[in-house]
Structure 1
Amino acid sequence: MARIALKIDVDTLRGTREGVPNLARMLERARARATFLFSLGPDHTGWALRRVFRPGFLKKVSRTSVVEHYGIKTLMYGVLLPGPDIGRRAASQMRAIRDAGFECGIHTWDHVLWHDNVRERDKDWTVDQMTASYRRYAEVFGAPPPTHGAAGWQMNPYAFEQIDTWGMLYASDGRGHGPYRPCIDGEPLRHIQMPTTLPTFDEVLGVDGIDESNIADRLLALTADDRDHVFTLHAELEGQKLAPSFERLLDGWRAQGHQLVAMADYHAALDPAQVPHAEIAWGEVPGRSGELIVQP
């Protein structure tokens, strides 16, 4: 039976408070496991408006109704409204997910700040950002985080090294086709990367006639084979307006015979001796603006 690891990126305060509980209910009904990756510091979603000049960004947001999914208030955080501290204001919702039996981990400290800057930043900046998220996670959950999934699939070599420093065994920080051990200048790191292998909802919506009514069918066509996958979803999308489409996808995966698992489950099924090595690389993914971490 093939596995599909469900990785849930939680970017905003609204997504944590509203989308996360909705997703938990859907997953429980489907008897599915998943990993929730939380943004733990300030919500500066409004800063993302600066990406308007990035090639492909306007085309993407026009397809995915950003205002409808995120809400006007969220889009004002960091612009006309102060960015709320997600880890302080939504700690109870985060712990409720842990208490319901779901795996939890780190997404980022400040989502937009990391996404738009980490590629060019130095070691001190990178470690400071990651340490802030680690400490807040420990404060919220009373335990160290087991895993990490980078905001926007944006990383740098220092960030990959920090995952080893923390002693994490696995993470999901990029896109690719299967598990691998990342290398920096030819030297393999200790942890295993389990990249997202499937397109996300926001990458395929509005492309080639795909809308909310048939997006589940598009994903199911990609998982008809008997191979493992990692699927990234977002609390702000599948946990809210796109929830009916995601429920259809869950039902379809069950009908295909897939086992819906958390990242920890997927990692436990791997044979480390069979995991290949690959250099850290950058590349483009259809439907997403800019470059991100990709598996060569």
Structure 2
Amino acid sequence: MAKIALKVDVDTLRGTQEGVPNLGRLLQRHNLKATFLFSLGPDHTGWALKRVFRPGFLKKVSRTSVLEHYGLKTLLYGVLLPGPDIGKEAANEMRAVDQAGHETGIHTWDHVAWQDAVRDRDPQWTQTQMQKSWDRFVEIFGHPPITYGAAGWQMNEAAFEKLDQWGIRFSSDGRSEPNLMPYRLALPSGKAKHVQYPTTLPTFDELIGVDGASELDAVKQILAITQSNPNDQVFTLHAELEGQKLLPAFEALIRGWLEQGHDLVTMGELHQSWEATKQLDKIAVLPLAWAEIPNRSGELIVQTH
């Protein structure tokens, strides 16, 4: 059957210290490896409260119980409590995942600042944020990141060009339909060197609560998409959700995929499989595009056709 890459976005201090080890133990039980993308600087989760005015945001948080998943303390970071430095306070948890053989890469420096601002920020701001994350990653792990995955599926052209300057070969910064077709971006500087592998499957928080859907219903919906589907997929999970309250639902999803005969892999293994078949020589070069997707507020980077 198909390959399904497991991409873990780690947004907060709590997610790093609690969700990441939980996921590590779960994956070890199933003899699986995943790609963990870390937020490496300050946790300013509380800043996200200003999104209350964004269309669709209140509906999303009411469905996914943000307070229950993230905790009151995390929601106060940057508002009533100082934002802790994730890379300094949770370096041991990050290194443990790397040492266990999982793939590790950069998610962002400051998650909320990046997600809410990067689309309209200039190259200098963008490169400063990215360089901070690179320097901290190397400081923690002792080696450069293998890959990258944008916070909130938000980037700009300068950010994509920075990935090429770093020598990143593959990244996952946008969304697409459940039919993975890697592509390269057309940038002002020319065709991007790195390959984009967009998230193709809906996330748990985009399904739970829609028309009363439960966690188990969300699992069934995702498995219905991958049942008898020969296309490779990328699934994004969050250490704050699937690494904590939704851990049993995520394990049910893993079991379902294995029963369907799919090969659960890291982003790097997915990239290697496309390299091995020489298909990357023929992939499309597409412009940077934005659109809304069901059950998530705001516009995200999307793959055009």
> For this structure pair, what is the TM-score category when the shorter chain's length is used for normalisation?
over 0.9
Q: Which one-letter code corresponds to 2:293 in the other structure?
A: V
**Residue 294 of structure 1, aligned match among 273, 277, 302:** 302
Q: Equivalent residue for 1:117?
A: 117
2:206 equivalent to 1:203:
yes
Q: Which one-letter code corresponds to 1:86 in the other structure?
A: I
Q: Equivalent residue for 1:173?
A: 173
Q: Equivalent residue for 1:103?
A: 103
Q: Equivalent residue for 2:28?
A: 28
3-state SS in 2 of match to 1:6: strand
Q: Equivalent residue for 1:219?
A: 222
The offset of 1:19, in angstroms, is 0.2
RMSD value over aligned CA atoms?
1.0
Query: What are the equivalent positions in structure 2 for 1:1-296 lying under 5 Å apart?
Result: 1-177=1-177, 178-185=181-188, 187-224=190-227, 225-270=229-274, 271-296=279-304
Deviations 1:79-133 (A, max 9, x none): 0000000000000000000011100000000000000000000000000000000
8 Å contact 2:208–2:217 — kept in the other structure?
no
Q: Which one-letter code corresponds to 2:112 in the other structure?
A: V
Q: Which one-letter code corresponds to 1:38 in the other structure?
A: F
8 Å contact 1:186–1:279 — kept in the other structure?
no
Deviations 1:166-197 (A, max 9, x none): 00100000101421111125931100000000
8 Å contact 2:47–2:79 — kept in the other structure?
yes
Instruction: Give structure 2 stretches of 5+ with no counterpart.
Output: none
Q: Which one-letter code corresponds to 2:241 in the other structure?
A: L
Q: Which one-letter code corresponds to 2:201 in the other structure?
A: L
3-state SS in 1 of match to 2:215: coil
Moved more, 284-293 or 212-221: 212-221
3-state SS in 2 of match to 1:239: coil
Moved more, 180-189 or 17-26: 180-189
8 Å contact 1:185–1:279 — kept in the other structure?
no
Instruction: Give structure 1 stretches of 5+ with no counterpart.
Output: none
The offset of 1:274, in angstroms, is 2.5
Q: How many residues align?
A: 296
Calculate the TM-score normalised by the size of structure 2: 0.95
3-state SS in 1 of match to 2:242: coil
Calculate the TM-score normalised by the size of structure 1: 0.98
Percent identity of the aligned residues? 63
